[in-house]
Amino acid sequence: MTTLITNIKELLQVRDTNVTIVKGDDMKVLPILKNAYVMIEHDTIVEFGPMEDCEDLEADKIIDASGKIVLPTWCDSHTHIVYAGDRTQEFVDRINGLSYEDIANRGGGILNSAEQLQNASEDTLYEQASKRLTEVINLGTGAIEIKSGYGLTVAAELKMLRVIKRLKKEFPVLIKPTLLAAHAIPKDYKNNKEGFIDLVVNEMIPKVAEGHLAEYIDVFCEKGYFDLEDTKRVLEAAVTHRLIPKIHVNQFNAFGGVALAVKYNALSVDHLEELNSEDISVLKDSKTMPVALPSCSYFLSIPYTPGRDIIDAGLPLALATDYNPGSTPSGNMNFVVSTACIKMKLTPEEAINAATINGAYAMGISNQYGSICRGKKANLIITKSIPSYYHLPYAFGDNLIETVIINGKVF
Ligand code: NIG
Ligand code: FE
């Protein structure tokens, strides 16, 4: 099966070589072809170029993209889309003056979601998550990382990871599963955090690894949750079981979590709303991707990750949604890209690089996803007719996507 997309007004993120990460000033460059075509064979991009080179090409299916923009699908490297129910009451409580921390301290927050998740059947969880996943694919996401972390018991974490495995089987998008082993201290371990880390290290991680249910390990490294010592214990166990770290760090406080994550060769460090100069210099000597989650800052009214400083320091930056019931009940990468431009002062080119190639890097898949490159997966967004790609971030809140192609097929 071959598909030819013709008359593309602007084809974004075209790469002749298989670029797998973009950093610093290079993030300002988004290679574009005007009046272009893309040829797809089965699930792979086999050729692209200017329309004048396309005259003799034939295909089983032709999509005319006159007036439209084509770009790689978004790579959302940080989500928690498997959860039960919602936290709308906490949303209203925050409007009425409580903080995210106040809510957590009175036993709400992650513990609220954990209780709902523990009481939900695997089928219910799957149904709710598959609805969210369908929605975000229609919003242009073609590869996604999904974390556990609302289980907080071995059984419930395994249940979450099995739901992720089922999503992987049923959906055409690429899904990367992460064991978010230490997300909050469960009620039963309120005064025994050590005991909970013992459980994570001695039971949860080995069982998950044995079942091949996750590739990555995550910890919420934060004051009031898990400190450097706890995080270190989890990461040590993860190394033994070949789980690669992707860590929640510096959301509310900077206290050395970035350096610890880098020491354990984390693939990414995510959140970074509070970032100091030591964190930046540690990242400079690393292969770890800093990941910003601007929808979370928006929803919680907390500072935005200093993305401008990160890029100006020569570092790469990825953007992701953080889709979850507490801090970011939205999986819209288009809003993330807009918000990164509007609030973090990224240029449209930087934001699109951050949401495609660098997002793919933060999931370990950038040799296959994140750019228009011969041999890469045919995961493409075709927009409605719009004047230029600037409209993607500019027209915030609008859905400018007309078609999403996953593995060479219209979703
Ligand atoms: O990335 N910060 C930790 N975890 C999630 C939110 C968890 C929740 O409130 O349910 C986050 O923001
Ligand atoms: Fe998160």
Give the atom of ligand 1 at the shortest distance from the alpha carbon of 104.
9
Ligand 1 and 159: CB distance under 6 A: no
The pTM is what?
0.98
Shortest-distance Cα residue to atom 5 of ligand 1 = 327
* Cα–Cα distance, 276 to 283 (Å, whole number): 11
One digit per residue, the tens of pLDDT, for the chain of length 411 reads 999 999 999 999 999 999 999 999 999 999 999 999 999 999 999 999 999 999 889 999 999 999 999 999 999 999 999 999 999 999 999 999 999 999 999 999 999 999 999 999 999 999 999 999 999 999 999 999 999 999 999 999 999 999 999 999 999 999 999 999 999 999 999 999 999 999 999 999 999 999 999 999 999 999 999 999 999 999 999 999 999 999 999 999 999 999 999 999 999 999 999 999 999 999 998 999 999 999 999 999 999 999 999 999 999 999 999 999 999 999 999 999 999 999 999 999 999 999 999 999 999 999 999 999 999 999 999 999 999 999 999 999 999 999 999 999 999
Q: Which residues does 27 contact at the CB level (< 8 Å), separation at least 6?
A: 311, 316, 317, 349, 350, 353, 354, 358
C-alpha of residue 200 to centroid of ligand 1, in Å: 19
Distance of CA 143 to the CA centre of its chain: 8
Shortest-distance Cα residue to atom 9 of ligand 1 = 326
**Which ligand lies nearest to the CA atom of residue 76 in the structure?**
2
C-alpha of residue 103 to centroid of ligand 1, in Å: 12
